[in-house]
Amino acid sequence: MKILLYCLNYAPELTGIGKYTGEQAEWLAARGHQVRVITAPPYYPAWKIDRAYRGLRYRREMRHAVDVMRAPLWVPERPSGVKRLLHLASFAVTSLGWLARQVAWRPDVVFTVEPPLFCSPATLLFARLTGAKAWLHIQDYEVDAAFKLGLLKGGLPQRMASTFERFIMRRYDHVSSISHTMVALARQKGVDATRVSMLPNWVDLAALARRGDADFRARLGIPANAVVALYSGTIGTKQGIEILADAARHLCSRDDLHFIICGAGAGVPALRAQCEGLARVHFLPLQSAEDFPALLDCADIHLMPQRADAADLVLPSKLTNMLASGKPVVATAAPDTELGKLVIQFGSLVEPGNSVAMADAIAALADDPPRRQALGSAGKAWAAAHLDRDAVLAEFERTLLRLRAPRGVADQAAADLAGK
């Protein structure tokens, strides 16, 4: 099958959406599919284009049997609401040339990842011209999130954006998202239930099992018997990241408790300033894929802050690896959200923005090793049962085949591929 992925973020980005689109394309290529990707140069989460890709130029490369076409885009140093919109729009415009050149290739399916929704009109037109099936995969409901987070002001602009979003979504042959709540929201926006499915972010269990030689406790001077609370991921606006500094300050008198904050993003300078004077708060840059399992393994507790107004519009991709690492999670989320319902089974849930409650939850887990072990083991078992990469992507492949071919043909093709 010929598959065209149209996505803003792609490998070698180490976190966020790019990690998943990269693994997805390479997995499909290894299964024998012809895969092409239209994407931007890597820039996330630092909001700075990778040194190896700088320069406003188009670029084509082969990565692990995937044909990757990169279009230049504008990346603001400080992404605000309007600047973020211009950033997304710049990729939608510059990538049109690559998209037009794929008409002659005639893919079977064009798989578009949101954000950015700006790419969708061209994708739908392309699909109609070539006879390809159009699939929209929603990682973030960017329209709803932008207004709820205050990145954009509501009123008429919000009504117009929501109308446009609903109009576009209903015209795709298939729509997927990463959680049950986000799938339900697609149906509420008018997408027929028969054309919606869940495609969760997955975890590569085999990769996590390869610990490597990195020793982060030794590198940071953390005693072997200390309790480590780890945040690893994007440091930006949707995370409510400032609560980490406040929680660490509440617990600064505890010599046995250390915080590691590992990541990149526009919020790093402000967070460093908030943590000034806290001797047991350690900062690390994003780690390589090879060292990432060892980073997760050095933690006793994982931290997942999130703003209340982003609930159920985004589901943090970092959660999959946290659960699979076998360590409990402390998250800020309401109990009636999907994140809250999940985390409460494998860790502690606290009210968003309540740094005292977060500090208390961290302290309680730090003082109770048997409970940490029980919660972590339960989370690891759940991740293995529901989020294994090969199982998730095999189901995705079967849906691709059903989408493209008549029922009997699709079933036979799926059976043939299953035998590989």
Give the list of residues 6+ apart from residue 393 with CB closer than 8 angstroms, or none.
24, 27, 28, 202
Measure the CA–CA gap between 12 and 207, rounded to whole angstroms.
Answer: 16
Check residue 15 and give its pLDDT: 85
Give the list of residues 6+ apart from residue 220 with CB closer than 8 angstroms, or none.
258, 260, 282, 284
What one-character-per-residue DSSP string does 358-408 give?
A: HHHHHHHHHT-HHHHHHHHHHHHHHHHHH-BHHHHHHHHHHHHHHHHS-HH
Residue 135 clears pLDDT 70, i.e. is over it = yes
Residue 374 clears pLDDT 80, i.e. is over it = yes
Measure the CA–CA gap between 191 and 417, rounded to whole angstroms.
Answer: 30
Residue 133 clears pLDDT 80, i.e. is over it = yes
Residue 408: which pLDDT band, with cuts at 50, 70 and 90? very low
- What number of residues does the chain have? 420
3-state secondary structure of 350: strand
Residue 2 clears pLDDT 80, i.e. is over it = yes
Tens digit of pLDDT for each residue in 357-367? Answer: 999 999 999 99
Residues carrying CATH 3.40.50.2000, the chain: 2-201+388-418, 205-386
**Amino acid, res. 402:** R
pTM: 0.88
Torsion sign, CA atoms 20, 21, 22, 27: positive
The answer to whether the beta carbons of residues 129 and 24 sit under 8 Å apart is no
Residue 309 clears pLDDT 70, i.e. is over it = no
- Percent pLDDT > 70 in the chain is 93
Check residue 314 and give its pLDDT: 67
Give the list of residues 6+ apart from residue 289 with CB closer than 8 angstroms, or none.
14, 207
Check residue 308 and give its pLDDT: 75
Check residue 405 and give its pLDDT: 65
- Percent pLDDT > 90 in the chain is 70
Residue 238 clears pLDDT 60, i.e. is over it = no
What Cα–Cα distance (Å) separates residue 207 from each residue in 63, 204, 291? 19, 5, 10
The answer to whether the beta carbons of residues 283 and 272 sit under 8 Å apart is yes
Tens digit of pLDDT for each residue in 28-37? Answer: 999 999 999 9
Residue 25 clears pLDDT 70, i.e. is over it = yes
Q: Of 84 and 274, which is predicted with more confidence?
A: 274
> What architecture (CATH level 2) is domain 2-201+388-418?
3-Layer(aba) Sandwich (3.40)
Q: What is the CATH number of domain 205-386?
A: 3.40.50.2000
Check residue 411 and give its pLDDT: 47
Residue 413 clears pLDDT 80, i.e. is over it = no
Check residue 311 and give its pLDDT: 62
User: What rounded mean pLDDT belongs to the chain?
Assistant: 90
Residue 397 clears pLDDT 80, i.e. is over it = yes
Q: Of 125 and 45, which is predicted with more confidence?
A: 125
Residue 414: which pLDDT band, with cuts at 50, 70 and 90? very low
Check residue 210 and give its pLDDT: 82
Measure the CA–CA gap between 418 and 223, rounded to whole angstroms.
Answer: 48
Residue 151: which pLDDT band, with cuts at 50, 70 and 90? low
Residue 347 clears pLDDT 70, i.e. is over it = yes
Tens digit of pLDDT for each residue in 312-342? Answer: 566 778 889 999 999 999 999 889 888 899 9
Give the list of residues 6+ apart from residue 186 with CB closer than 8 angstroms, or none.
138, 169, 175, 177, 196
410: which 2 tokens?
């699709």
